[in-house]
Amino acid sequence: MGSEFAARLSGRVRLTTVLGTVALLLECALMALLSFFTPQPVAAVFRTVAVLIALLFVGIFLVAVRGYRIERGVLRVERPFWSTTHSIAGLQSALRDPAALRWTALGFGNNGLFALNGWRKVAPYGWCRVLATDPANAVVLRTPQATYIVTPDRPDEFVQQAQLLAGP
């Protein structure tokens, strides 16, 4: 038994994705083009940079958040081609907090290209694993091991299901 929830992109994430995609692909194309008009040692650098930018873009796409599934004691985050699992056994709290994804000075990860992915220090929760797409739907899951911030399409129902299916 489990519950499925979509991860809809907010306007901010959509805009960041469009602008980031255009910027990265244009930079990749520019590096590849420049490699044809420069001496061989420099051309190799341009081609390498173009390949690295393309690989970065593909890597960020592959870890995008597409949805969530709550199963007994597990939060499953749906990715484009697979899913990742996170234990929510012993769930201490599940609450909706639209302010949880406000701007923070401490953190690292992807801040909007296809998703908000990474780690952030968020008061009053401390360090949180962010697996989000729409800050307005933020739900904070606190477990003994970690704190997660997710953004399901139906946050109130998600909170209820998380509390029900968190397990012992």
| pLDDT at site 1 | 46
Kindly list the averaged pLDDT for each block of 10 residues, start to end, along the chain of length 168.
Answer: 85 94 93 90 91 93 95 94 94 94 82 91 92 96 96 96 81
| pLDDT at site 115 | 94
Cα–Cα separations (whole angstroms), residue 134 to 8, 52, 59, 152: 6, 28, 21, 8
Cα-based torsion angle of the residue sequence 80, 150, 153, 69 in order, rounded to the nearest 10 degrees: 60
Q: Are 116 and 67 in contact (CB under 8 A)?
A: no
